[in-house]
A and B are shown apart, each in its own frame.
Chain A
Amino acid sequence: MDRISTNLAQKLGISAILLQQANVNQTQQQISLGKKILTPSDNPADSVRLLDLNESLSRLDQFQDNLDFAKNRLSLSEGTLQAVTSSLQRTRELAVQGFNATNSASDKAAIAEEIFQRLDEIVALANTKDASGDYIYSGFKSQTQAFTGNSDTGVFAFQGDQGQRLLRIGENREISDSNSGAEVFFDLQDKDGNAEDIFSTLYNLATDLANNRPALEQMDITTVGLPANTETVTINGVTYEFDSGGGVGAGNVAVAIGGSTDATTLNLRNAINSQQAAGNTDATASVVGSVLTLTADVEGEGTLSFSDGTSGDLSPTLPSIPLYDHLEQIDTALGRVLDVRAQLGARLNVIDSQEQTNQDFELSIKSTKSQIEDLDMAEAISNFNLQIVALQAAQQAFVRVQNLSLFNQL
């Protein structure tokens, strides 16, 4: 352009200054906020990525919250079960001590008393509440007391349910923050597969001790079929021979085969009890239906012996001592509690590793975010200085050019 109007020259000078001012202003805002992106239009793609990253960060924060909740509850549960474990172990020691035949009735009563105390302690532990006042072993019914019953009533009930709360601790990870009390304390089985719970076990143990119940070995023999003639069974050194009227071998005690298993069982009982009365054997029998219960006359283990010659018509269950059964039941309960504690430990480990994962993730998001939105201060400030210099230059140039006029020379 070889010719330019005076008016336009001035306008161009001013708009150059305005442009520089706008640049300075934008850079100044960026510097004062430390951000590259001031509005989405500065960089739409990046600003939406920022939204996504912020969402992820916020979710991670929330996961940390959830994780803390889960961790607190699981730790509380772990602490509670630790107390339960030591209490059960103490009870077990007491039980072993209590079986000692040298204890007097009052010694046993004293031991029973402590077991009752321990029972109440464990019931109280099973009814532990968390910081928000929720029972931790009640399942979803968290404001319903988990267990009722105590050493006075001897009747125990679980009032919660099997519900397990899941907390989200990672983008694709949920973890249960509790165990149902039914699983921990209640849904146990004894060696015969009958339902049993920790509280009843302790209660029965303590009651038996308090009643000075002896540690006698017991055995159940069920008559499942009618034994054939001349078949024998040997109990504690005496051989009983089943007889349909043909007489028995020398030294054998005759047991008449009755019309039914019940009748035959009854005959066997009578035979055993008469041998016991005669001092030939040290076991006493009692019968319910076709189940015959043998009880040793002397305390201790291995006091009952049984040898079956009826080709399976009689079905014995292993000898047991009720007091020892209680002990075994305590071991089962301890095993269950330890199982659950192992589970809790595993979950706490998962939580720890998830926490680590979340933190790694958070760090990587934060660094990505910083790359997108954070201003390179060194660059921005040097730009800023440059822009200020440019602005000053534009202003000075404007003033100098404005002073140039031929009229000044006329």
Chain B
Amino acid sequence: MGGDLLLTGLSGLNAFRNVLNTTGHNIANATTEGYSRQRVELDARTPQLSGGGYVGSGVTSSSISRLYDSFLATQFRSSSSASSDLGSYLNLATQVDTVLADSNVGLNVSLQRFFNAVQEVADDPTSIPARQVLLSEGEVIQNRFNTLDQLFTDLTSQINNSLDDTVADINNFAKDIAKLNEQIVLATGIGGGNPPNDLLDQRDLLIDGLSTKTSVSTNVQEDGSINVFIGSGQSLVLGKVANTLATQPTATDPEVKDIVFVQSSGNTVVTKFMNGGDLGGTLRFRDEILDTSIDNLGQIAIALSAAVNEVHTNGVDLNGAQGQAFFNEPSVGVAAGGGNLGTLAASFDPATTASLTGSNYTVAVAAGNYTITRSSDATVVASNPLGGGSITVDGLNFDISGLSNGDTYTISPPLTKDVASIFSVGITDPREIAAALPVVSAITPSNTGSGKLSNISINNLSTGTLPNTITLTFDSGNNEYDFSYLPGPTTGSIPYNASSDNGKTGTITVANFGEISFTLTGVPQNGDTITLSDNAGGVGDNRAANLLANLQTSLSMSGGTASFQDTYGQLIADVGRRTQSAEANGLAQGALLAQTTTAKDSISGVNLDEEAANLIRFQQAYQAASQVVLTSRTIFDTLLGAFR
């Protein structure tokens, strides 16, 4: 009986020493990252049957377990993935957000100043300083495009580096998890099924770390190892085996990187499956903000240069020569096949730049039909009988009037993303700014009627000089203006009935010069004449400058719904909105993460007060157990004394 009491006391001493040790371990690891507090499971020992019934025989520490909730851990990881996803997204997006609207870097202010400078030239077309200012403002726009493009190029390489780093991190995590899997399986076996708590903590910490890089799901195996899947189910760690991720340039653009799974059979591209974590956030930023911004900028560059040049090349400069391209327009490459008899010209269509695909195209002509095929997906985008005019496909304008049977062409438009980097001003001399139109009209003073001609505009100009004066003579018998002009001589007439045609637009096409359009108004009398003559010496003319200034508000982009500044404003708004929502979601996700962390920590975390209380409690228990041993000795001594 007495021996039993000693053993019982001893069992208490042993058990409480374990408990005190574990409490000490908890205190020591109070600040260790990923540490889960441990607890000794105490069980009463099997009682012994004696005459009086079952007598208790002390305590045993059956196991040491960690306080850990795998459900909360999973929740924590998904919060942590989402939170770092939004974090890296926001981090990158903020860089674009602050820059786009910055008046020193963004495009909006410089566009505004450019068009103001155009109006200054319109105010005083002979002023060289005003022209010089316009030229400088053109260069500022060039500079802005180049700077923004540089910013985006830098971001692209920053993203590439960050993808490389993240992939390296993920690979390290995978390797370490696989190694720990191996150790855990071993330790569990050796420990006879007792969990190696600290190894488990280490592995969980690694998986937590992995979850900040990408989204993670896990699957615990019976032997204690854990399988780790990332993205949308790509297996990263299977037991002791870790797979490897890598980056490689995309098939379409060597400057952009894809995420691949390295496999013996060859690399599999998994970019689009990667979500969550730094990796997901970075990829999402590239998709949603960077690529859109680059494309948008390129589209503005294409549309702006095309629209400005269209007006500028239909005007004449201070020297009386035809205006040159104000901005160097990105040209669409056309390669003709051998043996072609016809010609093909291709250019960007400023109004539909949003439909640009970046693909090459082939044009083939056979049996009186031409076929335009998009190379990227081998789709026939247009197939029609030969004819005059032009056709617009995917934001490109094909001039098909010169095609001939048997012709083949390859069309290679520059990528939209490359356009902003090569955007530049095409003229250098302020006198080369075309503020005037090449044609001027005069109403003969002796006219008896009130017929007028105004709003002259020019298209397809090929030279700055109208060869001969065109005289329009009103013929009241036929209600028409008759005209004739050289070279040719060509004659023609424009029907004009004063009662119904007031404000009618007339057009005269002059060979080797261009197309003159004008508005006819008033009530002309028979024999009244109006002349159209070359605007020689017309240095005070500001009509082309006015047309240029009108481009500022003309809706020349997005299929005729947005001006250049509108388009840029939409880009700013788009990036702003995405940044804002990332910020808001980031806050929400942060709160969720904090909550999950708290929940997880409330179970696993070490509370020093609690441990202090435990110290006191178990110290007292230990002391009590030693008293039991002492009592057992006293009983034994008493017994011995009885025999003395």
Contact yes or no, A55 B108, CB < 8 A: yes
Q: Considering the chains assembled together, what is the distance between the CA atoms of A65 and B116 in angstroms?
A: 10
Q: Is A162 an interface residue (CB 8 A)?
A: yes
- A186: chain B residues at CB < 8 Å are 445
- Residue from A40, A66, A407 within 8 A of B576 (CB atoms): A40
- A61: chain B residues at CB < 8 Å are 116
Contact yes or no, B601 A141, CB < 8 A: no
Interface flags, A1-35, vs B, CB<8A=1, else 0: 11111111000100100000000000000000000
Contact yes or no, A406 B540, CB < 8 A: no
Q: Is B365 an interface residue (CB 8 A)?
A: no
The segment from A164-172, A354-362, A382-390 that touches chain B is: A164-172
Within the complex, the shortest CB–CB distance from B383 to chain A, in Å, comes to 42
Please provide the chain B residues from 518 to 553 with a CB less than 8 Å away from any CB of chain A in the complex: 535-543, 546, 549, 552
Q: Is B400 an interface residue (CB 8 A)?
A: no
Contact yes or no, B572 A47, CB < 8 A: yes
Q: Is A89 an interface residue (CB 8 A)?
A: no
Contact yes or no, A6 B606, CB < 8 A: yes
Contact yes or no, A55 B94, CB < 8 A: no
B570 and chain A: residue at smallest CB distance: A48
Contact yes or no, B607 A6, CB < 8 A: yes
The segment from B71-79, B117-125, B191-199, B248-256 that touches chain A is: B117-125
Q: Considering the chains assembled together, what is the distance between the CA atoms of A140 and B599 in angstroms?
A: 81
- B445: chain A residues at CB < 8 Å are 182, 186-187, 195
Contact yes or no, A58 B116, CB < 8 A: yes
Contact yes or no, B541 A51, CB < 8 A: no
Q: Is A153 an interface residue (CB 8 A)?
A: no
Q: Is B446 an interface residue (CB 8 A)?
A: yes
Contact yes or no, A6 B541, CB < 8 A: no
Contact yes or no, B605 A6, CB < 8 A: yes
The segment from B43-51, B349-357, B457-465, B609-617 that touches chain A is: B609-617
Contact yes or no, A406 B541, CB < 8 A: no
Known: A48-B573, A406-B609. A142 touches B549 (CB 8 A): no
- A47: chain B residues at CB < 8 Å are 101, 572-573, 576
- Residue from A41, A59, A143, A410 within 8 A of B580 (CB atoms): A41
Q: Considering the chains assembled together, what is the distance between the CA atoms of A138 and B112 in angstroms?
A: 32
- B604: chain A residues at CB < 8 Å are 5
- B541: chain A residues at CB < 8 Å are 140, 163, 165
A183 and chain B: residue at smallest CB distance: B445
Contact yes or no, B122 A168, CB < 8 A: yes
Q: Considering the chains assembled together, what is the distance between the CA atoms of A174 and B115 in angstroms?
A: 16
Known: A62-B119, A66-B123. A51 touches B580 (CB 8 A): no
Q: Is A250 an interface residue (CB 8 A)?
A: no
Q: Considering the chains assembled together, what is the distance between the CA atoms of A7 and B98 in angstroms?
A: 36
- A167: chain B residues at CB < 8 Å are 122-123, 542
Contact yes or no, B612 A410, CB < 8 A: yes
Q: Considering the chains assembled together, what is the distance between the CA atoms of A407 and B616 in angstroms?
A: 10
Q: Is A132 an interface residue (CB 8 A)?
A: yes
Q: Which of B116, B537, B546 counts the most A-chain CB atoms under 10 A from its CB?
A: B537
Q: Considering the chains assembled together, what is the distance between the CA atoms of A47 and B613 in angstroms?
A: 57
Known: A41-B94, A51-B569, A195-B445. A66 touches B610 (CB 8 A): no
Contact yes or no, B94 A39, CB < 8 A: yes
Known: A5-B607, A48-B569, A141-B539. A41 touches B546 (CB 8 A): no
A165 and chain B: residue at smallest CB distance: B542
Within the complex, the shortest CB–CB distance from B458 to chain A, in Å, comes to 14
Contact yes or no, A405 B610, CB < 8 A: no
Within the complex, the shortest CB–CB distance from A14 to chain B, in Å, comes to 12
Known: A40-B579, A51-B108, A133-B126. A4 touches B607 (CB 8 A): yes
Q: Considering the chains assembled together, what is the distance between the CA atoms of A133 and B540 in angstroms?
A: 11
Known: A142-B126, A161-B440. A4 touches B598 (CB 8 A): yes
Q: Is A42 an interface residue (CB 8 A)?
A: yes
Q: Considering the chains assembled together, what is the distance between the CA atoms of A65 and B130 in angstroms?
A: 12
B583 and chain A: residue at smallest CB distance: A41
Q: Considering the chains assembled together, what is the distance between the CA atoms of A48 and B575 in angstroms?
A: 11
Contact yes or no, B612 A1, CB < 8 A: no
- B443: chain A residues at CB < 8 Å are 162
Q: Is B436 an interface residue (CB 8 A)?
A: yes
Q: Considering the chains assembled together, what is the distance between the CA atoms of A4 and B93 in angstroms?
A: 36
Within the complex, the shortest CB–CB distance from B271 to chain A, in Å, comes to 26
- B539: chain A residues at CB < 8 Å are 140-143
A42 and chain B: residue at smallest CB distance: B580
The DSSP consensus for interface residues of chain B is helix
Contact yes or no, B537 A141, CB < 8 A: yes
- Residue from A1, A45, A132 within 8 A of B126 (CB atoms): A132
Contact yes or no, A3 B97, CB < 8 A: no
- Residue from B115, B440, B580, B607 within 8 A of A163 (CB atoms): B440
Q: Is B234 an interface residue (CB 8 A)?
A: no
Q: Is B577 an interface residue (CB 8 A)?
A: yes
Q: Which of A15, A62, A189 counts the most B-chain CB atoms under 10 A from its CB?
A: A62
Q: Considering the chains assembled together, what is the distance between the CA atoms of A59 and B37 in angstroms?
A: 68
Q: Is A139 an interface residue (CB 8 A)?
A: yes
Q: Is A289 an interface residue (CB 8 A)?
A: no
Contact yes or no, B580 A58, CB < 8 A: no
Please provide the chain B residues from 135 to 155 with a CB less than 8 Å away from any CB of chain A in the complex: none
Q: Is B381 an interface residue (CB 8 A)?
A: no
Q: Considering the chains assembled together, what is the distance between the CA atoms of A22 and B260 in angstroms?
A: 39
Q: Is B500 an interface residue (CB 8 A)?
A: no
Q: Considering the chains assembled together, what is the distance between the CA atoms of A7 and B537 in angstroms?
A: 85
Q: Is B80 an interface residue (CB 8 A)?
A: no
Contact yes or no, A66 B607, CB < 8 A: no
- A3: chain B residues at CB < 8 Å are 602, 607, 610
B318 and chain A: residue at smallest CB distance: A143
Contact yes or no, B594 A12, CB < 8 A: yes
- Residue from B101, B124, B572 within 8 A of A69 (CB atoms): B124
Q: Is B30 an interface residue (CB 8 A)?
A: yes
Interface flags, B586-609, vs A, CB<8A=1, else 0: 000000001001110110111111
- B30: chain A residues at CB < 8 Å are 5-7
Q: Is A231 an interface residue (CB 8 A)?
A: no
Contact yes or no, B606 A66, CB < 8 A: no
A51 and chain B: residue at smallest CB distance: B569
- Residue from A48, A143, A168 within 8 A of B572 (CB atoms): A48
- A405: chain B residues at CB < 8 Å are 608-609, 612
Contact yes or no, A1 B124, CB < 8 A: no
- B101: chain A residues at CB < 8 Å are 39-40, 47, 51
Contact yes or no, B97 A40, CB < 8 A: yes
Known: A65-B120, A132-B124, A406-B609. A41 touches B579 (CB 8 A): yes
Q: Considering the chains assembled together, what is the distance between the CA atoms of A54 and B100 in angstroms?
A: 15
Within the complex, the shortest CB–CB distance from B603 to chain A, in Å, comes to 8
Interface flags, A152-192, vs B, CB<8A=1, else 0: 00000000011101111000001000000010001101000
Q: Is A44 an interface residue (CB 8 A)?
A: yes
Contact yes or no, B442 A162, CB < 8 A: yes
Q: Which of A2, A48, A167, A187 counts the most B-chain CB atoms under 10 A from its CB?
A: A48
Q: Considering the chains assembled together, what is the distance between the CA atoms of A187 and B574 in angstroms?
A: 59
Known: A4-B607, A7-B31, A48-B569. A407 touches B612 (CB 8 A): yes
A409 and chain B: residue at smallest CB distance: B612
Please list the residues of chain B having a beta carbon within 8 angstroms of any beta carbon in chain A. 30-31, 37, 93-94, 97-98, 100-101, 108-109, 112-113, 115-116, 119-120, 122-127, 436, 440-443, 445-446, 535-543, 546, 549, 552, 565, 569-570, 572-577, 579-580, 583, 594, 597-599, 601-602, 604-610, 612-613, 615-616
26 contacts between A and B (CB under 8 A): A3-B607, A4-B605, A5-B601, A6-B30, A6-B606, A40-B97, A40-B576, A41-B583, A44-B572, A44-B573, A44-B574, A48-B570, A58-B116, A66-B122, A69-B124, A132-B124, A139-B538, A141-B540, A143-B537, A162-B440, A163-B541, A165-B541, A166-B546, A167-B122, A406-B609, A406-B612
A41-B97, A41-B577, A140-B537 known, 20 other contacts, Cβ within 8 Å = A3-B607, A5-B604, A8-B601, A40-B101, A40-B576, A41-B93, A55-B108, A62-B116, A66-B119, A140-B535, A141-B539, A141-B540, A142-B125, A142-B540, A143-B537, A163-B535, A163-B540, A167-B123, A195-B445, A405-B608
- List 3 tightest A-B contacts by C-beta distance, closest first: A5-B605, A142-B540, A40-B576
